[in-house]
Structures are given as C-alpha cells and as structure tokens.
Amino acid sequence: MDFLVKHGWELNGIRFGYYFFDQNCAYRLLELLEVARPSLDLSSGFDYYAMPVDTIRRVVDEGLVKEVEFRPSKQLQFEQLIGGLSESEKDLVVALAEGREAVDGQKVSALAQTKQQVLMAAYRLLRYQHNKSSRDSEIAKRSLTLLRASQTLGEMPYASAAAPTRPDLGHPTSQFNVGAGVLEDQEFIDLQWRISYHDTLDPLAGYPVGAGLEMLRVGLRWQDDQLKLQELVPVDIRSLSPRSQFAKGLSWGVKGGLERIPSAEHSLKTGLQGDVGGSWRELGGTSYVLVRPRLEYNPESAVNWQLGLGGVVGQLWQGERISAELSAEYLDFTTAASRTRYQFGMNLKLQHAQSLRLSLDYSRQQGEEFTEAKLAWRRYF
C-alpha cells in the first residue's frame, strides 16, 4: 500500500493518452495495482475494450477483494424517506423544500409519527435540487433550518435497504446472438455481436433501471442465399428517468449507424437520431413519450438525404428474469414520405449468461407494409 501511494505521488504531472474503449481510467487503475504488486497480471486481455465493471470482475477473480459493503445512495435514502408518506405529506415535502411552507407552520406541527421523516425528506430534496448551483444565502438558510428542525427530534432512523445485485454479478457485457425469423414470406438467419454493454431488455440484475448503452453492434443476415450486413451501430444510448413531483429530469437517447430498415428497396440506410421527452412509472413499469428527429441517408432513393421528425411512445417492463417492451413510432420526412413502426420485444433469461429474445416488428412506409418476427438465442461473455 505504501508503494502504491508513493507511485501515485510520482505520477503527479505525468500525462497519459486516454482512449474511451480500452486505455481508460478503469484500465489505468489495473496498471497501478500491478505496479504495487508486480506478481499480478490484471491488465492483459483488455486489448480492445475495458468496461469498468469488467475490470472489477478481474480484481474479484484474482482474490483481491476481502469484503464487499453496500452503501445506499442519497437517492435510495430519499426514496426510503418518502416511501411510507401519504400524498398530502409528499406535497408538504415539496412545499417545505420550495419555501412555501414554514418549518413551524400548522401543517408541520399537526404531523405525528412522520414529522421528522417529512422534514428530513424536504432537506434531502432541497440539497438535491441545488447541489450544482452556486451558493445562495436564502437556500443555505432554508436548508439549515430544515436540518436543525429534523435533528431536534433525535437521530433520523433509516430502514435497512435491501442491497441490490452487485454490478459485477450482472450478466457479462459482450454479447453474441443467433436468431431465425420471417420477413413477410422470406425466412432468414441473423447473427449479431455487441462489444458491450447492456440494452434495456437484457436481464436487469446489476444494471440501472431504464438505462441502456450499446457500443459497436454488428448484425449480419442470411436470406435468399445471400449474406448481407443488417446493421452497424457504433453507439445506441437510452436513459429513461421517470418523472415525479420530486424529479423533473428529461429522458433521452441517441443512436447512429447503418441499418437495413424494412422498405421497398431494403437498402442499407445511414441514420442519426435523437430522443428527448419524459417517462413515468406507470402500469408496473416505465411509460415514455419522446420526440424523435432523424437524419437519414438512403443511396437507393431518388432523394438521398431525408430529415424526419416525429416521436415514439412506449411501455417498458424490466425484470431480472423477464423484460418486455411495446412501442409505436411515427416519422414524417421532408420528402413527403412517412414511416409508422410498431415493435414488441421480450427477453427471457435462461441462465446467468444466456437468454432468449423474441421480437415482432410491423412497419408501413409509402403505402407498403412489412411484418417481421424473430426468435434469437443470446450468449453473454
């Protein structure tokens, strides 16, 4: 440990090349551990990519972890505080945080067992709302008043939070799948490989709810005695952050690459799209409504470049064993063409590193309709 600290000190002022996929901060930490204990070989095998969770798995596999402790986040503590409150008490939490109700007001005084819970929740909410803002004397005064009022009632007891699945115990980040399906009356076989990391239908254990990050997804399709590139997507990101009276964040996504979307010419289109909108906890999962602009290049179309604007609505259910999603998309392009698309996907976990994925896709464009069904076996490694 002394040697590691001394080596860290002598690295002061030393510059390293940073590469997002492989030689990133997680990879550099493995090298630092190797310097401290030369008998270790932690960094080998990360020639092409080094996801932080994969580097943690390597450290665990080498027997370097003696104990694991779960420390609940401030968000989880806040959710515990408001979990047992009524709707009127939750409204009071917001009012206290915004300064519309006083700590010594009648509504707070009328509270019995939940008084300290409401005061501490208001304090946590106020701190969260302004944690990135410059210091404001009025906000600081309100924050201190809420904290002191809570502390006068004694130490705030928190219910013990159930520890979620550790990130390093979730499914491996790389993925390969083979699937078979039918597009209209034509059968096909698909092969797909993903360098990392996780999509929102993959088994949820160890991963954040509503978040997906896929980097370098490549798909091939064998159909009509021909092998064609079906997709080449460098990045596909989703972040569905449910809104509530306490959280007002936006949900968003970005996706870019080559895709063979069903159409008359079945051409390989280059597309870049973004999503922005809102999501909510409804129907036992996450409901979302997103605005979607899309820039698309089609080499086989009379007008190569097309700009589309539309949106997507959907419902996502995530679980450690079964996940499913239903969505509807509409895009209106500048060429007077439009595209309507309905998709359903369901993922069934078979084992820790295996699952089955069912996907149904119906699309309509320029008066033509296309229906596709596929079942794929997915292997994580």
CATH of the domain at 331: 2.40.128.130
Residue 327 pLDDT exceeds 90: yes
Please state, for a pLDDT cut of 90, what percent of the chain lies above it: 79
Using alpha carbons only, how large is the chain's radius of gyration in Å?
25
Q: Does 312 lie in the same domain as 245? A: yes
Check: CB of residue 187 under 8 Å from CB of residue 207. Answer: no
- Report DSSP letters for 266-314, one per residue: ---EEEEEEEEEEEEEETTEEEEEEEEEEEEE-TTSSS-EEEEEEEEEE
Check: CB of residue 293 under 8 Å from CB of residue 274. Answer: yes
Greater model confidence, 337 or 179: 179
Q: State the Cα–Cα distance between residues 175 and 243, nearest whole angstrom.
A: 31
Q: 218, exposed or middle or buried, with CB in 10 Å at 0-12, 13-18, 19+? A: middle
- Report DSSP letters for 42-94, one per residue: -STT-SS---HHHHHHHHHHTT----------HHHHHHHHHHT--HHHHHHHH
Residue 98's domain comprises: 74-151
Q: Give 105's Cβ-side CA count (13 Å radius).
A: 15
Q: Is residue 157 part of a domain?
A: no
For residues 326-349, average pLDDT: 95
Residue 133 pLDDT exceeds 90: no
Q: Does 81 lie in the same domain as 49? A: no
Residue 158 pLDDT exceeds 90: no
Q: Is residue 162 part of a domain?
A: no
Q: Is residue 325 part of a domain?
A: yes
Q: Does 288 lie in the same domain as 146? A: no
Q: Does 95 lie in the same domain as 28? A: no
User: Which tens digits make up the pLDDT trace of 246-264?
Assistant: 988 999 999 999 999 887 6
Q: Does 300 lie in the same domain as 176? A: yes
Check: CB of residue 310 under 8 Å from CB of residue 288. Answer: no
Q: Does 56 lie in the same domain as 88? A: no
User: Which tens digits make up the pLDDT trace of 87-104?
Assistant: 999 999 999 999 999 999
Q: Is residue 265 part of a domain?
A: yes
Please state, for a pLDDT cut of 70, what percent of the chain lies above it: 100
Q: Is residue 158 part of a domain?
A: no
Q: State the Cα–Cα distance between residues 99 and 144, nearest whole angstrom.
A: 12
Domain end, chosen from 118, 151, 184, is at 151
- Identify the residue whose tokens are 């036992």: 284
Q: State the Cα–Cα distance between residues 304 and 296, nearest whole angstrom.
A: 8
In total, how many domains does the chain have? 3
Count of Cβ atoms closer than 10 Å to residue 102 Cβ: 14
Per-residue pLDDT at 106:
94
Closest of 237, 169, 175, 255 to residue 200, by C-alpha = 237
Q: Does 305 lie in the same domain as 228? A: yes
Per-residue pLDDT at 83:
87
For residues 94-116, average pLDDT: 94
Q: Which DSSP helix (H) or strand (E) runs through 190? A: strand 186-198
For residues 33-60, average pLDDT: 93
**The two three-digit tokens of residue 138, written as one number:** 């009025």
CA dihedral over 210, 279, 216, 346, signed as positive or negative: positive
Q: Does 249 lie in the same domain as 121? A: no
Q: Does 269 lie in the same domain as 348? A: yes
Per-residue pLDDT at 316:
98
Residue 170 pLDDT exceeds 90: yes
Q: Does 207 lie in the same domain as 349? A: yes
- Identify the residue whose tokens are 């390989």: 268
Q: Is residue 161 part of a domain?
A: no
Q: Is residue 32 part of a domain?
A: yes
Mean pLDDT (the chain) is 93
Per-residue pLDDT at 216:
95
Q: What is the 3-state secondary structure (H, E, C) of 248-260?
A: CCCEEEEEEEEEC
Closest of 300, 297, 304, 367 to residue 337, by C-alpha = 367
**The two three-digit tokens of residue 113, written as one number:** 């067992």
Residue 161 pLDDT exceeds 80: no
Closest of 380, 374, 372 to residue 355, by C-alpha = 380
Per-residue pLDDT at 73:
86
For residues 130-146, average pLDDT: 90
Q: State the Cα–Cα distance between residues 179 and 199, nearest whole angstrom.
A: 17
Query: What confidence category does residue 197 fall into, taking pLDDT thresholds of 50, 70 and 90?
Result: very high
**The two three-digit tokens of residue 41, written as one number:** 């070989």
82-87, long-range: CB < 8 A, 24+ apart: 82/121, 82/246, 84/114, 84/117, 85/114, 85/117, 85/118, 85/121
Instruction: Give the helix ranges, DSSP H, for the chain.
Output: 2-10, 25-36, 52-61, 74-83, 87-98, 106-109, 115-129, 137-151
Residue 157 pLDDT exceeds 80: no
**The two three-digit tokens of residue 365, written as one number:** 């464009």
Q: Does 128 lie in the same domain as 40? A: no
Q: Is residue 69 part of a domain?
A: no
- Identify the residue whose tokens are 């999962």: 285
Closest of 328, 317, 332, 323 to residue 355, by C-alpha = 323
Domain end, chosen from 61, 83, 105, is at 61
Query: What confidence category does residue 334 fall into, taking pLDDT thresholds of 50, 70 and 90?
Result: confident
Q: Does 299 lie in the same domain as 335? A: yes
Per-residue pLDDT at 310:
98
Domain end, chosen from 96, 125, 151, is at 151
Query: What confidence category does residue 380 fall into, taking pLDDT thresholds of 50, 70 and 90?
Result: very high
